[in-house]
Structure formats: C-alpha cells, structure tokens
Structure 1
Amino acid sequence: MTLFLAIIPVLLLIVLMAFLKMSGDKSSVISLIVTMVIAFLGFHFSLGNLAFSFLYGALKAISPILIIILMAIFSYNVLLKTQKMETIKQQFSSISTDKSIQVLLLTWGFGGLLEAMAGFGTAVAIPAAILISLGFKPVFSAVVSLIANSVATAFGAIGTPVLVLAKETNLDVLNLSTNVVLQLSVLMFLVPLALLFLTDPKLKSLPKNVFLALLVGGVSLVSQYAAARYMGAESPAIIGSILSIIVIVLYGKLTSRKKDKKEKEPKISLKTKDIISAWSIYLLILALIIITSPLFPTLRGTLENNWVTRISLPINGSTVHYTISWLTHAGVLLFIGSFIGGLIQGATVKELFTVLWSTTKQLKKTFITVICLVGLSTIMDTAGMISVIATALATATGSLYPLFAPVIGCLGTFITGSDTSSNILFGKLQASVAGHINVSPDWLSAANTVGATGGKIISPQSIAIATSASSQQGKEGEILKSAIPYALVYVVITGIIVFIFS
C-alpha cells in the first residue's frame, strides 16, 4: 500500500499530461495537491513539514531554474528585438542549407555546449527558440531539443552531476567519469542518428545520416573518454561539444560546396562586424560562464563568497540550508550577457527592460508549472516517497538489478528535473546495492547518472522549458507523448549495457 501511494503522483502526472492532454500548469497544480494529501494521510507528514517542504521546493524552482529560463528566453527575445536573429539565421544557412545539419549543429553541438557550461534548461530553451526562427515547427523544435539534451547532461554545468555523485558515494571521480562515458558510448551514436532521422526520415538520406552520426558520435566518444579518464568530470561535455561543432560545421561546409556548384545559388556575404554583433549575446554568456566556472577556482571562490543569500528551513527535525551565490548564478550571467549584448546590438536600456517585462508575462504559466513540480518532488523526497519506490525496485529485481539501475536514475530526474538531484537522492542507494550483489559500486553509481540523462528527455520541468521557448504552453502533453518512446528506448539501452558489463 505504501508503494502504491508513493507512485500515484508520478502516474497521475503522466496521465494528466500525456493522455488527458491537460496543460502543464493545471496538471502540476492537481498533482501537487494530491501529493500533499498522500504525504499527510499516507506517510504521516505533518502540516508544518508539508509547508516548509513546498517552500523549499518553490525556492529551488525560482533559483536557479526559473531565473535561468526567464533569462534564456530574454536573450532570444533581445535578438528578435534588435533583428540580429536574421543574421544568425543567414549564418546557419551559409554553413549549410541542409536542415539535418542545422538541427544537429544547434541541438547536439551548440545545445551540448550550453548544457556543459550552464545546464538548468538553457540547452533546451535557446536551441528550440533558434530552430523556430529558422522555420522549423514549434513541437518538432521542442522534441529534438529535449532528445539532444540527454547525453551532455551527465557532465552538465561543468560536471556538477558526477562531482556530486562522487561526493555522495565517496568514490573516485575519474573512475566514475570514465564509467559514465562507457555506459553512454552507444547513445553518443544513436542520439545524433535519431535527431538526423527525425529531421529527414527519407530512406535515400539514411546513408548520409548514418555516416554523419558515426562521425559526430565517434568524435564525441573519443574526446569525452579521454577527458573523463585523464581530466575528470568538468571537461568531457565541453570538449566533446566543441569538437562536435567543429566537425558538423566542416561537414556542412564541404557538402554545401558541392550543392552550390550544382545549383549555382548566390551566396549571402556577411560582414565580420555584423556577425560579431549578432553573436555578441551568446559570446558574452559563454565567456562569463567560463570565467566564473570551476576552471578558474580562485576567482570562482571569491565570487561565490560575496553577494550570497542564505535561507534555513526546518524539515523533518533537521535544518535544510538554501543558498544562492548571485555572482556565479547562471541566470544572472545570462542577464548580464543578454543586456550588454543588447546594448552592443543597438537596443536602448528602456527597450531591454520592456523586453524583459514582456518575457516575464509570456512565462507566467511556466512559473506556476515549475514551482508546483519542484514543490511536488521536494515533498516526495522529504516524505520518503521516492525512497520507497527506489527501494522496492531494488528489492524486486534481485540479481537482475543492474538491468534496472538506470531506471532509478531516470525516475529521479523525471520527478526532480535534475540529474544532480537524482544523484543526491539515489547515488548512495546504488552504491549500497552494488555491495550486496557483488557489482562494482563505481559501475552502478555511474548507471544512476546515465539513467538520469534519459529521464531528462521526459522530465516535466524540461518539457515546461521547451514549451516556453517554443510558445507552446498548453501542449505539454503532446510533447511528452512524442518524447516518451525515445526516453524509454534510451533507458532500455543503458540498462542492457549496465547489465551485460556488470
């Protein structure tokens, strides 16, 4: 009965969004209320604990998630206001008119780099918005951005998920990082192939799609393995994404030249000044993220200890601490880069604040959705509901547990929306189960973060970000339904790899 009660919020959320096609904000409000009732009656969670757990969840939703979503969409809207998005569109077209290459470059390459640097939704919001401006359908743009935002998540935000996992389990970071790459190896080829196939499903395009997927996947695997094996968790996604971008651009240039010769299309010449101006927002954002990242520990340490907000909340008889370091906050960095970039592009201060206010109004339903979802996941965690589900799965599977280990990681991300949170919730569980079934704790712990990357595809929070970026609020169910098959296949493949090599 306890297990049945614990699983109701997850099932209810899926049914409301995917099958009843209810909007994200309504689905999340209903699911939150049901979760509170179950926690109070079924898990004897006091009203005080409920209130503080929801407040803690709401704070985590506002920062970093909602601030980052707001600023990511703001950066895109500034580009629309200054009309520099047209220059970016022309540039992508000049690299290649092939839509498959444009999608792969934006989602796997540029999106992977954004995930590696900042995480927390930027890799979904910005690529999806740019794809729509290039003429792709909104739902398609949202789905491919979600699928692409999977593999890179393992080492997102400068390796935070794996670093947290190592801390939670007291395991070696280099071993964990290497195991994560090995478990993701097959998906580094299959995810690009899926993106290419979704863009261009024609049978005659299959050889080209397979070749490009093998090329990009090979570069990603070799570079990420080397980085993980010898450098740790901070750099695999960064190096892999940068090299992928280079390979895709070179491939696009080479193939487009052949087409240009055949079609004799006139090329659009862009001045260097216009290109730098158009990309100034994203260049500034990336520069700020790199400068304030753990790659520069002294500067980051100084910034993290200034302009800090600390809030303490009593939950379950202990004190939970909530901290925001504003000077290294990804949302603040996005705002600074977007604002200065907007001024460079010719916008006035008044125009930029007008764009920010209109963006805030545009995202009001997203605010409700994300606050309710993170509040729901926090209540499920603090009330012990998530632990009940994970323990039941571990007990039921026995020696077959490695096959299902990624499912637990996937569940954690589906509920919390974060690979890092999933590792905090279930990292210790995976390591302890490994000891009972004579499997390497490094291998099973890595399986948690790998499964979590699959859960990222269908996380309601990620879907809320995607619908916001594509102005498709209310179509969360449609996007979830489209993404579920890919997430299921993703997790099944990781489960088989983990099981075979355990």
Structure 2
Amino acid sequence: MDQLTQALYFILAIIPILVIFAGLVFFKKSGTFMGIVGWIVCVIIALAFFWGTPSLGSLDVAFKASIFGVISSFSISLMVLFTILQVTMMDVTGAIKSITEFIKTIAAEKYEQIMILNVGLGSFLVSIGATPVTMLPPIMMALGFSPLASIALPCLGYDPLTSFSLLAVPITAPVQAFVPAADYNHYLNILANNVSLFLPIVSTGLSIGMLWIADGMEGVKKGIVPALVAGLTLGLTCILFVRFFPDLVTITGVVAGLMAMASLFLLRVVQGKPIFNKKTAPQGAVAADGGMTKNLPLWRAVLPWGLLVVFCVIISWPPMPTILLNIMGSANKIPIIADQVVNLKLLNQAYVWVLVSTILTAPFLIKSKDQGVQIVKLWLKRAWSPTIAAAAFFAIAYIMAWSAKSVIGGKLVFDAGMDAYNMNMVIGSTLAVYLGASLFPLVAPILGLFGAFVSGSETSSNVMFYGILNKSSNMLNLDFWQIFSGHAVSGGIASGIAPAKIVNASSVIDVKGLDGEVIKKSAVVSIILTVLVGIILFCWVTFFS
C-alpha cells in the first residue's frame, strides 16, 4: 500500500468516529442514537473498503463481530443496567437523600466535596468494580451541583486510576492475552510501574480541570489546595504501592482512593476545620416519588453499596476467581465464529454481584408493592438507553478490530496481505509512517484517547491496540512498554468524554440533551492532558531510555 492510498484508508477508517463526535458535539444528538448511527456507518465503510470485495463471508464476520462486541460489552452494559436499578431503588426509597445529608456533614466546602466524592470515593468505587458514573450523579445533584457538573465530574474524577479499575483489569487483560504465562507477573509489574509514573501529573491535572468545569477559573482559585492534595496523593500512592507491593497490583486503586480521601480529611484537621459539621439533618426528605419520607438510618441507606463492596472484596481474594470460574466451567463460553469464543466468566463479574446485592437489600429499603413497581418502571425508563449505547460502541470497536479478517481453516485470521487493510492497523501504521520515531511518542497517546472514546472502555482499547502499538514500536525501535503505558493512561483520560459513560451518568438523573455539552466541556481537559501525556512520553523515550 503506497502512502497516498494509506492516507485515504486512514481517513476512511476514522470516519465512524468523526460522525459520532460531530453528532454528539455539534448536532446535540444522544449517545445512544449516535452509537447506532456510528455502528451503521462503520459496517458500511468496513464492508465497502476494508474487506476487499464485499461478500456474504465478510458480511457474516462483520455481523458476528457486532455480536461479539455486544456480549463483550456486558462488563459495562450490564453493569450499567444493574447499577441503575440499584441507584433507582436507593433514590426512590430515600437512601440517596440520607447519604447526601451525611456527606454534607463531612465536607462543608463545595470544592472538598468535589474531590472527596469524585476523586477519592470515585477512584475507590471503580477499583472494586462499582460504577461511579451511575452512583455519584444523584448525590452530586442533591448537593446542589448543576446537571452538567453532576454528569461531567463523576466521569472525570476516577479517570487517573482507570488502569487500576475493576481490580486492574485494563492492564491485566492485555498482558494476560498477549504475554506468555511464565512472564505475566514480570510484564504486568513493568506496565503498572510505567503507568503509575504518569499519574501524579495526570491526577492533579484532572482535579484542577474538574474545578474549572464546575466553576471556571474562580473554582480553580478557590479549590486549588484540595485539588493538589487529592491529585498528588492519588498519583504518589500508586507509584509507591506498585513499587513496594508488586504482588498486590490489583488493589492499587483501592488503596489510592482511600488515601486520597484520608488526605483530604487530614487537610481539614491541619487547617483547624472540623471533619464533621454541627448541622442537624432535616427530619424529612423528598424522595423520587415527590412525597416526604423520614430519613433512612445511614446503615440501611448504604447497605446496598456496603454489601457490594464485601462481594467485590470476596471475589477478588486470590483463590476465588478460579473457584468461581470452575463453578460454571464451559457454560461461561459462547462460541461466536470460527475460533472466536466469548468467555463470560459470569460469577467473576461485578455486575452479577451488583444485582445480587440489590436483590438482597431490597427488603430493607422498599416499603410497599407500589414502591417496588415504581422503582421498576423508573429503572426501565432510565436504563434502556445507556445499555444500548454501551453495546453499540463495543460493536463498533470489534468491527474495526476484525475488519479485513476471514475464516480460513476454522480460524478467524487475515488472508495473505489483508492485515494491512485492518482499520485499526491502518490507523496505527499511518501514524507511525507519517510521524516517525521522533513524533510517534507525542501522538501515540491519542490512540488511547481514540480507542476508549469509541468503545467506552480502556480495557477494550488496550486489547485492540496492543498489536498495533507493538508493531509500530518495533518498526520505530521504541520501547513498547513505555509507549503502551502512555496509551493506557490516555485511555483512562478518555473516560471523561466517552459517550457510553456520559449517557450512563445522565440517565440516572433523568437529564437528556446534555451529552454533547458535557463532551465539549470535558474534551478541553481530556485533550490537554492527553497532549501532556504525549510530551511526558516523548521526553521519557527520547532522553531517559
């Protein structure tokens, strides 16, 4: 493929992403609508240009890639579906209001609330497998934040630790998939250490960016101290923890989130401020049904989340993943096409335990049959859109990953010479050819932003672009693990603008039409930080390798 042809194919490969971005930002369409439109555009372009001559075989692969993507999205789409159920139950029964009133007594200042909830608690929750983008927006709204801030801040707050989310799945998954088992721990520790080196700057930058989104430069001026404390604590904790506890990489985010919250409480003590305010919580709270309800005791209000945390800790205990995997055995595996099989790992998934914790705690919160019916109706109204959106973006990601592949000898592989026409390969190799070794580190993180923006998942982005970055790094004689770590960090940053995440956050507070505005505002922060990651990566590769 000559350079002109490659440039044309590069433009074709990114059209689905440009269409989605334009629809969200400029035409103010919903993430769900643009996810479906983007999927249709991606299918048409992939079949017309990247599979050579369109055929029933290529159509079948594209269709099965979509199915594979939808099922692979369960870790996000079903997590969202069941988390919205849990949050809706807590909202209607007054649990969210009780939690909000308690939080008001912890952090009186607005900017401390932003850091404690979104940076500290958000990082902790996402690290154990919970979903801050569906759990925190209702609390933010109840605390008096604008709808835009209530959506944007929970999506941004945990971004620095996305690589360590879900017990570090975004970095363990690609290493497990592509590195020999005997070298797994060695390369996982290299990747974890590399990723952590970016985090003091990234986490601090995101903390400051959140203040700007909340209240502009005035917010930055007033909240700079807690932002610096939260951001630096988060990043430095990660560096120290992965270095001194290499066998516990999976709980790095849990520890860092707790340390960030502790540092903010300590800051109040140092400043001579009480940790708890002497405010008296109101006797009644307005629930989602519009009626006044007596505040729930705090222990009952947090019971669903508390039980979920217990379940997540139990399933992450080293022997448990294997035990749970063996319980269902081959029933976890769904064959899709040729040698491509989706392993659901059902009992290992956090979304299952979100549903279980919701069912088990429902009797402690739901007061009547009518209230239960109201919860289900409101849940279905809120949940269908983000669930479909997450599935659509995963379907797009896998069409791009499987483009130009064929079934040969019972395996899904590239026919001779067709790997050059894979959409992801075209994007990665074009950047390598046109940028060269000197500029590639500056731009490589954009692939992380791009991949996670499309799929809504750093994990998917890391897995899909592993091969591309490996090939490009080898072509340019660069350290792959350094390049890949910059890609992973930027994929985490993309969570703040990923349509799937933003749709989820807006759905739990019943706000429609803000998706594009949130992306437009948050994109400023995300793009600046991605460029900064590129500069850091360039200096690291150029001067310190």
Pair in the same fold by TM > 0.5: yes
- Deviations along 1:27-56, one digit per CA (max 9) or x if unpaired, are 222222111111111112611112211121
Equivalent residue of 1:292, what SS? helix
Structure 1 residue aligned with 2:321: 300
| Deviation at residue 247 of structure 1 after TM alignment | 2.0
SS of the aligned residue for 1:185 comes to helix
Aligned-partner Cα distance in 1 for 2:12–2:239? 41
1:75 correspondence with 2:86: yes
Is 1:235 the counterpart of 2:274? The answer is no
CA distance in 1, matches of 2:270, 2:104: 13
How far apart are the structure 1 equivalents of 2:367 and 2:425? 50
Equivalent in the alignment of 1:247 = 263
Match of 2:203 among 188, 191, 197: 188
Distance 1:20 1:441, change over 3 A: same
* Deviation of 1:267 (Å): 4.0
Aligned residue for 2:150?
141
CA distance in 1, matches of 2:217, 2:276: 22
126-135 or 359-368, larger mean C-alpha shift: 359-368
Report if the CA contact (8 A) 1:224-1:237 is conserved. yes
Matched, 1:398 2:436: yes
Partner of 1:161: 170
SS at match of 1:333: helix
- SS at 2:108 equivalent: coil
Q: Do the aligned residues in 2 keep the contact of 1:377 with 1:416 (CA within 8 Å)? A: yes
**Which segment is superposed worse, 351-360 or 180-189?**
351-360
- Alpha-carbon shift at residue 467 of structure 1 (Å): 2.0
Q: 1:319 to 1:148 in 2, by over 3 A?
A: same
Name the residue aligned to 2:407: none
- Give CA deviations for 1:106-132 in whole Å, capped at 9, x if unaligned: 11111111111116xx12111122211
1:73–1:217 CA distance, 2 compared to 1 (3 A): same
The equivalent residue for 1:274 is 297
For residue 290 of structure 1, report the CA deviation from its aligned partner.
Answer: 0.9
Distance in 2 of aligned mates of 1:136 and 1:339:
30
2:195·2:485 contact (CA, 8 Å) conserved in 1? yes
Unmatched 5+ stretches in structure 1: none
Distance, in Å, in 2 between the alignment partners of 1:259 and 1:80 is 26
The one-letter code of the counterpart of 2:315 is T
Residue pair 2:95, 2:296 contacting (<8 A) in 1 also: no
In 2, are the aligned partners of 1:306 and 1:325 still within 8 Å (CA)? no
CA 1:439–1:39 in 2, change beyond 3 Å: closer, same or farther? closer
Q: Identity of paired residues, percent? A: 22
Structure 1 residues 206 and 3: alpha-carbon distance in aligned structure 2, compared to 1, 3 A threshold: closer
Q: Name the SS for the 2:339 alignment partner.
A: strand
Q: How many residues align?
A: 490
Q: Is the 8 A contact 2:428 2:469 kept in 1?
A: no
Match of 2:10 among 3, 21, 32: 3
Q: Which residue of the partner structure matches residue 311 of structure 1?
A: 334
Name the counterpart of 1:129. 138
CA RMSD of aligned residues (A): 2.6
1:349-364 → structure 2 map (5 Å cutoff): 351-352=371-372, 355-364=375-384
- Residues 27-176 of structure 1 aligned to structure 2 (within 5 Å): 27-44=34-51, 46-61=58-73, 63-118=74-129, 122-168=131-177, 170=179, 172-176=187-191
For the residue of structure 1 that corresponds to 2:487, the secondary structure is helix
Distance, in Å, in 2 between the alignment partners of 1:365 and 1:151 is: 27
Query: Paired residue for 2:425?
Result: 387
- How much has 1:231 moved relative to structure 2? 2.5
Under a length normalisation based on structure 2, what TM-score does the superposition of the two structures give?
0.84
CA gap 1:274/1:252 in 2 versus in 1, 3 angstroms: farther
Tell me if the contact between 1:417 and 1:459 (Cα under 8 Å) persists in the aligned partners. yes
Question: Is the aligned partner of 1:23 residue 2:44?
Answer: no
Name 1:209's counterpart in structure 2. Answer: 223
TM-superposed deviation, 1:349:
7.5
How far 1:149 sits from its partner (Å)?
Answer: 3.0
Equivalents in 1 of 2:28, 2:34: separation in Å? Answer: 9
Q: What are the superposed Cα offsets for residues 35-85 of structure 1, whole Å, 9 maximum, x if unpaired?
A: 111111111261111221112122223x12221112212221111222122
Distance across 2 between alignment mates of 1:54 and 1:435:
31
Structure 1 Cα separation of the partners of residues 235 and 276 of structure 2: 32
Report if the CA contact (8 A) 2:120-2:261 is conserved.
Answer: yes
2:502 counterpart (460, 463, 479) = 463
Q: Is the 8 A contact 1:444 1:498 kept in 2?
A: yes
Q: What code does the residue aligned with 1:189 have?
A: T
1:473 alignment partner, SS class:
coil
Distance 1:375 1:191 in 2: 29
**Partners in 1 of 2:67 and 2:164 — Cα distance?**
29
Shift of 1:255: 5.8
Q: Which residue of 2 aligns with 1:329?
A: 349
Structure 1 residues 184 and 396, CA gap change in structure 2 (3 angstroms): farther
The 1-side partners of 2:85 and 2:268 are apart by 29
Secondary structure in structure 2 of the residue aligned to 1:172: helix
Deviation larger for 157-166 or 428-437: 428-437
Q: Which residues in structure 2 correspond to 1:335-354 (within 5 Å)? A: 335-345=355-365, 347=367, 351-352=371-372
Q: TM-score, normalised by structure 1?
A: 0.90
3-state SS, counterpart of residue 22 of structure 1: coil
Deviations 1:373-412 (A, max 9, x none): 2212211111121221122112211021111121112211
Question: What does 1:422-501 correspond to in 2, within 5 Å?
Answer: 422-501=461-540
CA contact (8 A) 1:82 1:342 kept: no
Where does structure 2 lack aligned partners over 5 or more consecutive residues?
1-7, 180-185, 284-294, 404-421
SS in 2 for 1:234: helix
Whether contact under 8 Å (2:111, 2:226) holds in the other structure is no
Q: Distance in 2 between matches of 1:239 and 1:12?
A: 39
Contact 2:106 2:275 in 1 (8 A): no
Change beyond 3 A, Cα 1:207–1:38? closer
